[in-house]
Amino acid sequence: MKIDSITLREIHMPLVHFFETSFGRVHSRSILLVNVDVQGVRGWGECVAGDDPFYSPEWIETAWPTIKKYLAPALLQSEVASGRECAALFARVRGHRMAKAALENAVWDAEAQLKQQPLWRLLGGSCREIVCGVSIGIQDSPEQLLDKIAGELAAGYRRIKIKVKPGWDLGVLEKVRARWADILLSVDANSAYTLDETEHLRKFDAFNLLMIEQPLWNDEIYLHARLQKLLRTSICLDESIHHARDANFALEAEACRIINIKVGRVGGFTEAISVHEVAQSHNAPVWCGGMLESGIGRAHNIALSTLEGFRLPGDVSASKRYWKQDIIEPEVEVRSDGTIALSDAPGTGYRVLEDVIDKLTVREETFRLKH
C-alpha cells in the first residue's frame, strides 16, 4: 500500500449525558480522527486519547504532534503491505499508543476496503454477532443511577458496569442488588483505591460481581496480585495493560483473571490481537472496553469483539447512548436481545459521514511526502 496522504482532524461532539468516573466528569469530547488515502480508498481511525491526561498520560495535545512529527512521516516514507506492519514502523516511538493505534487502525480499515473484505474477518474474527454491556458513570444520586440501569436493562443490555469510588460504592451496590439480585453486574474503580483499603474492597465480595475493574494504581500489576489473593471477586485490569507482555505478566502473576482490551490503550489492532492470544493461552476471558468513541472507533471495537476470546459482554453500546447524531451511517444499533449483528460488507460495514464531520471539525491538517 502506498499511502498518498494522511489527514488529521479534531472534531468536537457534545455527549447526550455527562459521563463521570473516579477521575472526573465530562460533558463533551474532542476527538482526533485520522484518515489515510491509499489507492483510491479512504481508511479511517479514531484516537481515543481524552481531552485531558487523566485516564492515561496521552491526551489529544500529545497525540497530534506525535502523529505529525513521527508517525505520519514514518508511514508516508515506507510501503506497508498490511495494517499489521505498522506496529514495527512505529516501534521507535516509545509509548503514545493511542496515537499509534489511530493511524494503524486507519491502515487496517483501508486494507479491508482494498481487499473487499469485512474488517472483522481480516482481524481474524469468527463471531457473527457480539454481546453488549454498558458502562454507567457516577450519577448525581443513587436514584438517578437506578433509573439509568432500569433503562439499559429494558434496552436489552446483557451486563451492567457501574463506576465506583470511595463514597460511591458499597451503598450504591446495596441498592442495585436489592432491586436486581441476579443481573450480570461489575464495577470499575479507575484506580480509585489503594492496598490500604483491602478490607473495604473485600466487602465487594458480598455482591456477586462479575469483576472489579482496575481497583488499584494505573501503573501497577504486582500489587493487584497481592489484592487478588484476598478477594473472591475477579479482578479485571484495564489501565495497567499496555501490551501483550503486560498481559502475560498479569495473568502469570494472577494479578487478574480477566482483561479489558482497548485497542487504543495497547497501540492498535496488531497488539490487541496479541493481547487476545496471550489471554487465550491462559484461558482467561477478555472483553472490549470503550472510550466514549464516535462511530468510527465504535465500529472498530465491534470488529475486534468478534475474536473468539471476547467471551464477556463489552462496553460496546449503541451510538444513541452518546451522540445525538453519530458520524457514521447507519449508526450503531443494539438489538433488543443486547447484541450487535456483523455485516459481510467490506471494511467496517458503516459509512463515514464526511459532511457531518466537516461541520464538527475545529482543526485539520494533511500530510504528504515532500518531493
Q: Give residues 213-252 in contact with Mg ion (rule: CB under 5 A).
A: 213, 238
What is the rounded CA–CA span in Å between residue 196 and residue 41? 54
Q: Which one of ligand OSB, Mg ion, none is in contact with 315 (Cβ closer than 5 to 8 A by kind)?
A: ligand OSB
Coil vs helix vs strand at 58: coil
Cβ contact 18:52 at 8 Å: no
SS (H, E, C) 4-31: EEEEEEEEEEEEEEEEEECCEEEEEEEE
Give yes or no for residue 30 binding ligand OSB (CB under 6 A): no
Q: Give residues 171-200 in contact with ligand OSB (rule: CB under 6 A).
A: 188, 190
Give yes or no for residue 291 binding ligand OSB (CB under 6 A): yes
Among 20, 22, 46, 55, binds ligand OSB (CB under 6 A): 55
CB of 79 to ligand OSB, least distance (A): 35
When the beta carbons of 20 and 104 are compared against ligand OSB, the nearer one is 20
Cβ contact 36:103 at 8 Å: yes
CB of 295 to ligand OSB, least distance (A): 12
Give yes or no for residue 293 binding Mg ion (CB under 5 A): no
When the beta carbons of 55 and 323 are compared against ligand OSB, the nearer one is 55
List Cα–Cα distances, 363 to 292, 298, 358, 366, in angstroms: 20, 22, 10, 11
DSSP 322-363: T-SS-SEESPP---TTSEEE---SSBTSSEE-HHHHHHHEEE
Among 109, 238, 246, 326, binds ligand OSB (CB under 6 A): 238
Give yes or no for residue 287 binding ligand OSB (CB under 6 A): no
DSSP state of 197: G
The three cell numbers locating residue 22: 473516579
- Residues with a known catalytic role: 163, 262
When the beta carbons of 55 and 120 are compared against Mg ion, the nearer one is 55
- Report the chain's C-alpha Rg in angstroms: 20
Among 45, 267, 289, 295, binds ligand OSB (CB under 6 A): 289
Chain contacts with ligand OSB (rule: CB under 6 A): 21, 55, 135, 188, 190, 238, 289-292, 315
Chain contacts with Mg ion (rule: CB under 5 A): 188, 213, 238
